[in-house]
Amino acid sequence: MTNYKFAQGESFNILISIENDEGKREPLGNPPSSHNYFFHGTAKKGNEIVDIQFKYAPLTTEDGVESAYFINAYIPADNNGDNTKPDTLGMEAGTWQYVIRESAFQNPTGDNAVNIVISGELEVKALIDDLGTDPENFNFRPAEFNA
């Protein structure tokens, strides 16, 4: 079980890879033409269900095979009022149960394997916006560089 915390209006975002029995990453596919794995994920709180979105990471080459070896699982922060797409801004504060599954089949049936990749709790905190919009309320500075 893997748990994450974030506030309403912050993106939920994790990178996932799949390893074989030897501990080597499996190629997930070479989109858009080929897919070795298909993913599905949801977060649920009471009767409310939010779909987790997926996007392949850039292609890389490992052991001579060019493929996407990581997939980004995410719920965007804000979909700018588009109520047909999930976002964390619209998620109720509290604890959500989530699960991400994979299958080698796009439309798995009872005979096809479906595996849980990761599951746990998402702790969504209420949005706090008490700084206002006056730029003088913000102290902007460059990020530190770790050498």
SS3 track for 19-36: ECCCCCECCCEECCCEEC
Q: What is the pLDDT of residue 2?
A: 85
Q: What is the pLDDT of residue 25?
A: 92
In a domain, residue 145? The reply is no
* pTM of the model as a whole: 0.79
CATH code for position 107? 2.60.40.10
Structure tokens at 64: 């001579």
Q: Which residues of the chain have pLDDT under 70?
A: 128-140, 145-147
In a domain, residue 15? The reply is yes
Q: How many domains does the chain have?
A: 1
Beta pairing, strands 60-62 & 65-67: antiparallel
Parent domain of 46: 4-137
In a domain, residue 16? The reply is yes
Q: What is the pLDDT of residue 31?
A: 78
In a domain, residue 48? The reply is yes
